[in-house]
Structure 1
Amino acid sequence: MSDTVPESVPEPVDGSAAAAENTQVEPEYDPAAPAPLAVPRTPTGHAEVDAQLGRLADADHLATDGHVEVYEDVHRGLRDALTALDARPGPPAPPAPYGQHRS
């Protein structure tokens, strides 16, 4: 018996090494990789709000550091939609008389 280890391991004769080379290896699970949150989004019936809520799905495909930009954009859009609800419908108010400023 020898204390030396052979430099290479001989291949089995039955071809199992060749079969092992052809098998696909599943990718390792990476907990830091982007993954969809799969949060259900119920339509509100207001097209502009629904479009902004739909935009949240864009964050599903980004790394965490990319979420902030999407969230800020959606927040801005929702704020604009709410502000538009407070706007007076109809024609704008008449201009102030000469020399007077509106506050």
Structure 2
Amino acid sequence: MSDEAPGAADGTPTEAVPEPAGPAPLGVVRAPTGHAPVDAGLERLADADHLPADEHLAVYEDVHRALRDELTALDAPAPASVSVSATPYDHRS
């Protein structure tokens, strides 16, 4: 055994490999939209700030699914309990 610094097999010193940095918030400001489900999805993105990068995908997919569901709901027909008149005009002839 030697007291010398670790190096390559030919005796040249090797550089130390730095440790990867831990998760850190990006500091992205999320402006509220005024639509509660959308705002909840945007807030959910903050969860990714505290996760390692390889776990971000699950958060992004969850938020994407929620936002897609909200957009799909906009195209859904009105509930049957809402009465919509077939003729919006009062015919007085």
Normalising by structure 2, report the TM-score: 0.64
Aligned length: 64
Identity %: 68
Tell me the secondary structure at the aligned position of residue 48 of structure 2.
Answer: helix
Distance between the aligned counterparts of 2:30 and 2:74, measured in 1?
A: 22
Normalising by structure 1, report the TM-score: 0.58
RMSD between aligned alpha carbons? 1.8
| Residue correspondence of structure 1 range 22-37 to structure 2 within 5 A | 32-37=21-26
Which ranges of structure 2 fall in alignment gaps of 5 or more residues?
Answer: 1-18, 82-93
Counterpart amino acid of residue 40 in structure 1: V
What's the CA shift for 1:86? 0.8
Tell me the secondary structure at the aligned position of residue 57 of structure 2.
Answer: helix
Once superposed, which parts of structure 1, at least 4 consecutive aligned residues long, lie more than 6 Å away?
none
Distance between the aligned counterparts of 2:31 and 2:20, measured in 1?
A: 28
| Residue correspondence of structure 1 range 1-103 to structure 2 within 5 A | 32-91=21-80
Q: Give a deviation string over 1:31-67, Cα, whole Å, max 9, x none.
A: 5210001101010110000000000000000000010
Tell me the secondary structure at the aligned position of residue 89 of structure 1.
Answer: coil
Distance between the aligned counterparts of 1:51 and 1:87, measured in 2?
A: 21
What's the CA shift for 1:90? 2.5
Counterpart amino acid of residue 32 in structure 2: P
What's the CA shift for 1:88? 1.1
Counterpart amino acid of residue 56 in structure 2: H
Counterpart amino acid of residue 47 in structure 1: A
Higher gyration radius (CA): 1
